[in-house]
Amino acid sequence: MNKQPHTKQGFTLIEVIVSLGLFAVVMTIALGALFMVIAANRNAKAIKLVVNNVNIAMEGMTRELRVGSDYCAGTSAPCNDTSAGGSQDIYFTTDKGEAAIYRLNGETIQRQIDGGGWFNLTGSDVRITDLNYYIQGTEPSSVDGGIQPFVTVVVRGEIQVGDVVDDFQLQSTISQRKLAP
């Protein structure tokens, strides 16, 4: 009878320890990367929420100015164009005939309708550093000359999410839908 030599099957203790060590190193690196991706995703979502706040404020202002009339940089007539220097507030008549005002108050954009209370349009995580309305086409000579009244709104500011502060600048030109007389 021929006996075959006994061959080893399986792994030695050293091979198992080395493979477990390599596995632990790879998993540590992979989990670190996963946690970084999760943190970046949370930060991106937070920034998106803050930017949406600014966009909603700007969109509402744009919509109301588009259908409004009698744009003015001050409450007293005559309303002169402010294309050279701009104004931090704008007075106008809404499509419903209400007197509306948008202004920069501190670091927030505010809105008032018919002398009521002021309503903040931007949240506390948005810091508006500059707001200018450049009004054109409101002077009698411009209206007679056929220039459609329009307003260019320029907003500059900062958004803060956690320790991250990002600057932004938005600009929108709004032409009055109502045809000039």
pLDDT in tens, 8-67: 678 888 999 999 999 999 999 999 999 999 988 988 888 888 888 888 989 999 999 998
Residue ranges covered by each domain of the chain? 31-175
With 90 as the cut, is the pLDDT of residue 150 above it? no
The sign of the CA dihedral 83, 85, 86, 89 is: negative
Q: pLDDT band at 6, cuts 50/70/90?
A: low
The predicted pLDDT at position 146 comes to: 63
Q: Order across the sheet with 99-105: list the strands.
A: 69-72, 89-93, 99-105, 108-113, 119-120
Beta bridge partners of 105: 108
Question: Do the beta carbons of residue 100 and residue 94 sit within 8 Å?
Answer: yes
Read off the pTM.
Answer: 0.73
